[in-house]
Amino acid sequence: MVGLFVLNLLFFWPVFSGQSFLWNDFPERVYPTRLFASVELAEGRFPFWNPYLFGGIPFFAMIDNAVLYPPNWFLIPWVNEQQLSYLLVEWLTLLHVPLLGIGMYLLCRRFGLRKTGAFVAGTVWMFSGPIVHHVFHGEMLHTMAWLPFILFLFVPALEHGKTHLAIAAGVLWGLAILAGHPQIFLYIACVMGLYMLFRFADTVKSSGLCRDTLRLPVLTTLTFATGVGLAAAALLPAVELSGYSFRQFEWTETTSHAYSLHPRQIVTFVMPGFFGQSLASGSDYWGPDAEYFGHYWETFVYMGILPVFLAVVGGIFYRNRYSLFLVVLALLCFCLSFGDRFPLFPLLKALLPGFDLFRAHARLSMIMAFAVAALAGFGIEALRRDNLGTVRQMLKGPLNGLAALSGILTFLALVRPDGFTGWLAGNSEHLEKARDALTTQGFRALTITALSGAVLFLGYIGKTRARHMLPTLALSVIGVDLSMAGRHVNFSSDDIEFYYPTEPVVTALREQQQWDGTRASLHSGGFGLIRRNGGTVFRIETLEGAMSALRLAHTTPPAPWDRMTALMNVSLYMKLLDIEIAKLEANPDRLPRAFVVHDYVVAPTDSAVAQYLSAPHFDYRTTATLDRDASFEPATQPSAQPTAPKTHVGADASPVSNMETRMLSETIEIRRDGPGRLTLSVELDQPRLVVLSEVYYPAWRAYLNGVETPVYRAYGTLRAIAAEAGNHRIVFEYDSASCFYGAIVSTTTAIALLLAGFLYFRRSQQGT
């Protein structure tokens, strides 16, 4: 297993040594979330809410932020002055790569393989294209790393009816859930369910519907219940958020089918670079669905030529109770990777509710690579364990297949038949690119095929020394092949300073917001003064943020730009003067962070809110839209004057706006006690609505003079409460019932598991 760590170190040495850096989602999304969570926890605050993106969004409830994933906690001690080393965050993810290999090694040993075959299987999966091309998607890799460990416990739990192993598998599945990628931990659950069906069918065939048969679904349910119970603290808030998320309101069939394999991409199983590449240095990808950014790495399915042929040997000749399961798993994932282009997908979508909530079904190729890697280990084992006659019989088919593949590749590279080339090109515009690719990629594939054939031919010769060298030679060919195919996709010369340079404008914005407590809009027309998640890194409150399927669907009022920025307390916004020239302009119309209105209209739907806010005669400064009736009577004759109150700053508070407007006798003082708590001291001359320019979310509760009071959705997005005349202390506090009940369930599950573990240990000691 040490060898797997060494191989990982060599493969990613440019990143480990700081010569290159992970790019794509890693600096744009992974690093900012790790930074924010680590800083908040290091300073003694739980990161329920992130005020720096989209005007404020739930942070903990976004399960992909993985706040409760234990390995992420190792970053907390390294926080220094609200900064965190980018290299440390990279190392944390890269150390999950050998975790995949170690898990595969242990699982294959459980399957009966010797060390050599298990090592080959671990190496193939670690460095297979689908894994390597998702390294910069941190949560995806972290979640997938636990699959082999889960099966390592789950398989014997079903085989031997061991309750404690089923529970232990559930604990690891709970850890995979906390790692933060719902699509992957759902796929892992499907793999467990598929294996249970295999065991169920096998047991029924041999013993009928007996006690052992009925125990299988019970143990599987116990595994699922354990995982869900442990992870409930993260799952329940995520379920609550899903009802208000972007995915709930804007998810379509077209969206869910994006990033699936196209039939033309079958050629990339042999020629991985046929349609070009998308690298940090630029993209020349021209294949199917090129309009989708990231289609290249989302659909990169290359697992090597030799591993596939070894998998064929393993699947056919190493027959045990696991090989058939792995073959079916690989074929099923292959078919489903095409999404709705394969007829089986709608059937599975009907059988498994929620399966269609995810896009990028080509990610199933990660599990396909898992099955192929294990079968490749079986293949190596079969070639080493059997007698020469049997081995030669095994290798006839693969050697003939490699010879046929070599002939086909040679023909395609030299002749480049018009019909096949035209089909691969998709249209006449790409015909010449397809012809060139058939030549360059064809000869590359031909070289790897020849090397693979030479390795297998050594096994066919049958000399003892040659057979002993077979795993080493196979690993050499596989290493060269997979390294050439995918190693470079992760490397970028741009360090974190490239993405988040500390420029004077950033320092000035941060200082201004510390003084006046306003927001900024720093993007326009596809350009930005900082990265979309830069607000989190620099701790600047912005209206923008990077897209996430779990972010809130509504974070700004559905109003014209000037009204929206006024309501969102935007004091500065970016104005694009030219492609490379922009400036920050002051927003003279912005309202304070907290203001008072006299009147309201009920607008329960987004369209109704938009209709009011778009109407020129509607005075949004004196009249609010609410999602339901408030608990006070509005004025019968609305004032025509702006009613933003005088706003003061408490001595221990973060300052807020003191914008001068024509006032009534109303004042507000604001104190922010971290992202999850805000206190207002309000003086009103008559019943009013107090509107807080903070994004509405059901987990926010308001307390008026210590008594909970309803929070209304104002202007479709903001928070508001009704208050009578007089002096009031209003506290807005993030207090999620789903977080509370989830924590109770997780704590109860953990205590029950500890108690059960203690009793099991004590019982085993007594038995000894």
CA atoms of 272 and 275, how far apart (whole Å): 8
DSSP alpha helices (H): ranges in 387-526?
A: 388-415, 418-425, 431-461, 464-486, 496-499, 504-516
Q: Does residue 467 or residue 764 have the better pLDDT?
A: 764
Gyration radius of the chain over CA positions? 30
Axis crossing angle, helix 431-461 with helix 418-425, rounded to the nearest 10: 110
Domain co-membership, 629 together with 699:
yes
CA atoms of 125 and 303, how far apart (whole Å): 8
Which pLDDT belongs to residue 402?
84
Q: Let me know: does 64 contact 182? Beta carbons within 8 Å.
A: yes
Q: Is the dihedral of CA 426, 430, 432, 438 positive or negative?
A: negative
Domain co-membership, 574 together with 694:
no
Residue 352 lies in a domain: no
Q: Let me know: does 184 contact 176? Beta carbons within 8 Å.
A: yes
Query: Three-state DSSP class for 482?
Result: helix
Convert the pLDDT of each residue in 116-165 to its tens digit.
999 999 999 999 999 999 999 999 999 999 999 999 999 999 999 999 99
Domain co-membership, 629 together with 532:
no
Domain that holds residue 656: 594-735
Give the chain's mean pLDDT. 88
Among 236-245, 246-255, 263-272, where is mean pLDDT lowest?
A: 246-255
Which pLDDT belongs to residue 582?
80
Mean pLDDT to the nearest integer, 684-693: 91
Residue 220 lies in a domain: no
Query: Where does the pLDDT of residue 644 fall: very low under 50, low under 70, confident under 90, or very high at 90 and above?
Result: very low
The residue type of 447 is T
Residue 505 lies in a domain: yes
Query: Where does the pLDDT of residue 343 fall: very low under 50, low under 70, confident under 90, or very high at 90 and above?
Result: confident
What residues have CB less than 8 Å from 132, skipping those under 6 apart?
A: 482, 486, 487, 489, 490
Which pLDDT belongs to residue 735?
94
- CA distances to 36, 101, 222, 416, 654 from 47, rounded to whole Å, are 8, 33, 31, 58, 18
Which pLDDT belongs to residue 254?
57
Domain co-membership, 550 together with 649:
no
Domain co-membership, 582 together with 644:
no
Domain co-membership, 598 together with 725:
yes
Residue 119 lies in a domain: no
Residue 210 lies in a domain: no
Residue 363 lies in a domain: no
Structure tokens at 29: 């999304």
How many domains in the chain? 2
Domain co-membership, 578 together with 678:
no
Residue 39 lies in a domain: no
Convert the pLDDT of each residue in 386-413 to its tens digit.
666 777 777 778 888 888 888 888 888 8
Query: Where does the pLDDT of residue 255 fall: very low under 50, low under 70, confident under 90, or very high at 90 and above?
Result: low
Domain co-membership, 544 together with 630:
no
Q: Let me know: does 448 contact 305? Beta carbons within 8 Å.
A: yes
- CA distances to 115, 119, 456 from 320, rounded to whole Å, are 18, 19, 23
Beta-bridged to residue 731, according to DSSP, are 679, 703
Domain co-membership, 577 together with 604:
no
Which pLDDT belongs to residue 405?
86
Which pLDDT belongs to residue 552?
85
Convert the pLDDT of each residue in 188-224 to its tens digit.
999 999 999 999 999 888 888 888 888 999 999 999 9
Of 530, 555, 586, the residue that ends a domain is 586
Domain co-membership, 574 together with 617:
no
Which pLDDT belongs to residue 514?
86
Domain co-membership, 613 together with 672:
yes
Convert the pLDDT of each residue in 523-582 to its tens digit.
887 788 899 899 999 999 999 998 676 778 888 999 999 999 999 999 999 988 776 778
Q: Which of 634, 628, 666 is nearest to 647 (CA)?
A: 666
Domain co-membership, 556 together with 626:
no
Helices (H) and strands (E) in the chain, counts: 30, 21
Q: Which of 185, 191, 196 is nearest to 221 (CA)?
A: 196
Of 523, 555, 586, the residue that ends a domain is 586
Residue 177 lies in a domain: no
Of 535, 569, 586, the residue that ends a domain is 586
CA atoms of 523 and 132, how far apart (whole Å): 32
CA atoms of 122 and 313, how far apart (whole Å): 17
